[in-house]
Amino acid sequence: MQSSGRFTHSMSSAFAGQLEATRRTFLSSHAGNAGLLALASMLAGQRSANAKEGAGAGHDFSPRATSVICLFQNGGPSQMDLFDPKPELQRWHGKPYPAGDLETHFDKQKGNVLGSPYKFQKFGDSGMELCELLPHTGSIADEITLIRSMKTGSVDHEAALRMIHSGRLFAGMPSLGSWVTYALGTENQDLPSYVVLSDPGGLPIDGEKNWSSGWLPAVYQGTVFRSGSSPVLNLQSPDGVTPDLRRNQLQFLETLNRRQASRYPENTELTARIANFETAARMQTSVPELLNLSDETAATRELYGLDNPAISEYGERCLTARKLVEKGVRFVGVYLSGQPWDTHSRNAESLKGLCARTDQPSAALVKDLKQRGLLDSTIVIWAGEFGRLPISQGTDGRDHNRHAFSLWIAGGGFRQGCVYGATDPFGYASVENIVNVHDLQATMLASLGLDHSRLTVPYDGRDTSLTDPEVTHARVIPELLR
């Protein structure tokens, strides 16, 4: 801290003297601790460097990605209706499920086999089969890796969300975005390194836990940008406050914050808040320009469907995600309100509406990144927390399924036009080239140049990581990468 120069003109000399005395007291009492903090910071940097060095060990691929965009589909999209065609479902439609017992979430509502209401068709040179509701995703079939053999650990939304975001079924652990930003840092000091683009309709199920930094310093949690005219609360100065006055206010506030932080160096929430205030000051000029989409070309507006009221809102957020990574943001999460893909009833009708809303903007993002030369350095992942069952719930719904689900990934060194893994004839369980959530996380980190087994932080008496390979046996799947 400094008590002269730019601060003393904004405070009384008495306060300045008190501040100086406080500084002398702090340094005399805690100089050794300050050295330990500096050492801890250097060791954290070394851990990040070590994590990078071993990322590609034993594999013949080169880490490429520097950022991630997660298009998260809350609720659990139906794999057999969208990504994983199952002729057996059509043949057994309306009949009792013939292949043994099923694990169900709502046991009393178990029905007969439910065939897919929509047709599948082949797309691209790869011949990837996708639902007719996904023509735009079909147009990027030769860019994506479609994983049909995912598995997770829970059929409860909250636990499954925590699993796919943080690698654990219980709350309080750092999210994938937090691990990535902790390891890679930031490329743009004027913006947060981890941004969440929220749905104007509200938060997803489990809310802020989806992008929590857990026990990592709070500065690594996701910063929410809201839709509308005020994306970041309290970012703009009140009416009547001149730039000079605002600058003096911020300088005085910084002095108070630093003084408080010196008293409580263990309070990461406080240090994160101070860092966020400083970033917010810089964001006053950078964010309005970044979020202004009015000067986008007609071709870009058409690509994302910005002039189509049915999809414009999701399209704007996908376009904003591209602009964020273009400006150096490491991790961007795009979420939906509630859990709209949770099709316990009206499965066919719900899928039709959701695909109409998300299909074009999701594909547009991949196309836009590619034409700007950003796709190789950006991982785009389209995923939910689990899948659905091959039998009906009630008359026209599907229950939760943790044994099989599908997702797709583009860019970042992932293979192009690739279908990986397979499920049984009814789509209930992954049976070939199974990918669990921990394997997916390990592989994504590898694409970012990070070794999941070496990216660790001491916590609760042990070195803890995102994938916890000693327990989960998580592994990088080189067949997913090129």
Interval 413-424 mean pLDDT: 98
The pLDDT value recorded for residue 12 is 42
pLDDT tens digits, residue range 359-369?
Answer: 999 999 999 99
Query: Counting Cβ atoms within 10 Å, is residue 171 exposed (0-12), middle (13-18) or buried (19+)?
Result: middle
306 has a pLDDT exceeding 50: yes
pLDDT tens digits, residue range 35-60?
Answer: 333 334 444 444 444 455 544 444 54
The pLDDT value recorded for residue 123 is 98
DSSP conformation class of 138: H
Mean pLDDT across the chain:
86
Interval 160-171 mean pLDDT: 97
209 has a pLDDT exceeding 70: yes
The pLDDT value recorded for residue 61 is 53
pLDDT tens digits, residue range 254-286?
Answer: 788 888 888 888 777 777 767 766 666 666 666
pTM score, two decimals?
A: 0.83
Between CA 253 and CA 265 the distance in angstroms is 18
336 has a pLDDT exceeding 90: yes
Task: Report yes or no: 389 and 105 within 8 Å, Cβ to Cβ.
Answer: no
Between CA 13 and CA 20 the distance in angstroms is 10
Interval 29-37 mean pLDDT: 39
Between CA 168 and CA 171 the distance in angstroms is 7
The pLDDT value recorded for residue 32 is 41
Query: Which residue has tokens 């000079």?
Result: 244
How much of the chain, in percent, has pLDDT values that exceed 70? 81
Homologous superfamily of the 64-231+291-480 domain (CATH): Alkaline Phosphatase, subunit A (3.40.720.10)
pLDDT tens digits, residue range 230-260?
Answer: 666 555 667 777 777 877 877 887 788 888 8
Categorize the per-residue pLDDT at 188 as very low, low, confident or very high, splitting at 50, 70 and 90. Answer: confident
Lowest mean pLDDT among 69-73, 138-142, 292-296: 292-296
Between CA 340 and CA 358 the distance in angstroms is 12
